[in-house]
Structure 1
C-alpha cells in the first residue's frame, strides 16, 4: 500500500494526460484475488471510488484516477498460472505483460495472437479491459476472440467465475464477453483464461512504397477484394516514417507518402500469396515493392511500426520544445471506406493547419491519426481538439466506430453517446447499476 505523495502522484493517469485526472488517496498493489476482494469490500462499505490500473499504457484515460480514490494497481499479479498444451489454453493473472505470454507459449509451440503496439509494456488485464487488437488482428482477430473465461471481483467484493475451459459451451448469459472491453467499470479482473493457437508458419513480408496515401488505401481495398488473408497489413504515412527514422535510423524511405507492410503466414502457399499481394500493390500504382530477404529484416520492419508512438512523441517535443505532445485518435471504418477516411484526414489536417501523422491497421480499416500539439499553448490544444472531433465525426459518417481498440475511457465518452444513442446509453447504465449499484468502480469512464 503506497501513501507517499511522490509515489502516489505517478499513478494519476495513463498516456492520456490531456483529459481530466486527480490524485488518489492511496495506491494498493494486491498479489491475490483475496486481497482484491478485501479492498473492494472496504471500498463498497465506505463508498470510496476504486480505479483499476495495469501498466497505464492506455491512450483514452480509462485508467485515470479521480481525487481521493483508491488506485488498485494489478501489476504485481503477474503469474502465468497454467499453459495447457493439450487443450491449447493458458490461465494468467492480469499483470502478465502481453509479450511475456507470447514468448512463454511460443516455447511450447503455441501462439497467442493479440499483439498491441505496446506489447512489451501493456498487460493482459489491460488488453482484456479494452478489448485490445494489434498488428495481427487482420487475420487473427482481437482479444475478445481469445478470452474464454474470467475470474472477476465485483464491487461488493464477491468473486465471480464466468466462462469455461472447454472448446465450446453456451450455459447461461455470456458474462465473459460482457466484462471484456468494460474498462474496469463492472468488476476487477483477477484471472484470465485464453485460447491459444498452434504456432503459425514463418511469415513472408513485403513493403510497398506509395506516392500518395490514398493509393496505399486503394491497395488495401484491392487486397481485401482479392480474398487474400494477410497476417499483417499495416500502413505508415510520411510524417511517421520521418519521425521513426529520426528516432531510430533504419534507412526507411522517408520521401514516400505512405508505406504498406504486409505479411502472409500461409505455409506452402505463402510465396504465391505474397506474389499476389505484390501484384495488387503494383495495380494500385505502388512506386516500389520490396520483399524482406529474411526473418530478421521482417522483424525490423515490424519493430519500426511499433516505434510509431514514441517516435511521434519525440517529433512533437522537437517541434514544440516548450511542450510538444500528441493526441492519439483511434477510428475504424468499413474497409471499403478506408480511402475516404484517409482522404478526409488529409483534408482536415490541411483545413486546420495542424500536423496529423497517421498509422494503423489498414487491413481492419482501423487508423490512428496522431495530432501533434503544443501543450504550452491553449490555442494549439483547442485546435487539436477540433481536429480530433472532425476525424471522429468523419469516421462515424462513413459507418465507422469511435474506437477500434483503444477503448472509450474519458477521451471518447461524448462520441460513444453519439454512436450508440439514448437507448444504448440506457442499456449501458442499467448493466452498470446492476453490477455496481454504488458506482464505485472506475466512475465516470465510458459514459
Structure 2
C-alpha cells in the first residue's frame, strides 16, 4: 500500500508540474498582467534599434530580458513605481545591507503597519513599496493581504542584486506616457507598449485610459512599436482596417494564475505592431499559439451591463451574508434592454459552469475575499422581505470575507451585483411579426458578478 501511495503521489506531482508549465522567474517585482512569461518571445520580435522605450513599464519584464541599447527609457503612470526604480538605481551597498535587515516574511500585522506608514528615508520607502507589492492581493498594493504569502519569505532581495545593474543607464520617468513617447520617438526607436487593458482591472488604471487618444498616438509614431493588448474595450475595434499587423496570441493560464479566479484556461491577447515581426518569432508552440485576428463582435452586437441592488440583513445570524438579484426577466434595465427567462437561465448556468468568479467593478477578481454561497433561479414569484422577486429571477448569495470589502458594502460604496457581457440587440417584435418562443437565447453573455 505504501509503494502504491508513493507512486500515486509522484504521478500527481508530475501531472501538476506539466499543467503548471515552466516556472517563471520574476524580475524585481511582479505586476498585474505582467509580461515575464512572454518576455523572451517579445524580445525576439523587436527589430534592430538604437533607442528603446517602455512607456507602460510595470515590472519592465521586456527591458530586463533584452540586451541593453544605446538609449533606454521607461515610464509608469504610477508615481510609486517610478520612484521605486529610481531608488533601486541609487541604492548603495550600505543601503542594500540596511534593506536586508528589514522584514521580508509575509505577516499581516507587518503588512498593515507598512500600509499605514509614510516613511521618509529612501531605504524605508523602497522597502514599503516592495513589501506591499509582494504580499498584497493581486500585487496591487491595496489594503488586502494575499493569504498565500503569509509565512513565506520574499525573494525580492536576491532579485534586486540580480537585476539592479541592468537599470544603471536607464532613464526613469513617472507620469503620462505621451510625454516620454514624444521625447524619444524617431526612426531608430523601438517602443514596447503594454498599456492598461480596459475592462480587466480598474485598480491599475483601466477605467481612466483614453483609447481614442492612444490610437491617435499610435498612428503618429515615426519609430517602430510592438504592443500587447486585451480583447475588450474600444481599441480592438479601431485596429480593424488600421493597416497595423494584428495577431491573436493565446497562452495557457497557470494553475497559480487560475486559483480562485475561474474562467478560461487560456489567456487571449492581441499582438499589434506597425511592422512585420520576424516569422520565426511568431512560430507557435505548446505554450503559445498565434493566428490572424478580426474583431469578434458583429455589427448587431453590443456590450451590456445590468446592475441590481444588494439585499443585506437577510440572514440576521450571518452579518456578512449578502443576497442580491443579478437579472430579472422581462424587466427593462437602465440601458433599455430586456432579458427573457430563457436568456437569464442560460447566463446563470454559464456563470456556474464556466466562470464562477466574482470581480470588483467588472475588473479585479476578488474570489479570495468573497465566497459564492448560492446561485439559483426563482421557481415562483415570492417576496424577500418587502422586495418582490419574479419567477425566473437569478439570485446570487455571497459571504464577504474581506474586512476591506465588507467596509465598502456597509458604507454604501458597493451597492449591487452587476452582470456584464456581449449580446445581440434585437428589436422588440410587433404582434404581427412575433415569433414563437425559442429555447435558444439571443444573448451570448459572458457573466461576471461584480
TM bin, normalised by shorter chain, reads under 0.3
Bigger share in helix: 1
Q: Determine which structure has more spread, i.e. the larger CA radius of gyration.
A: 2
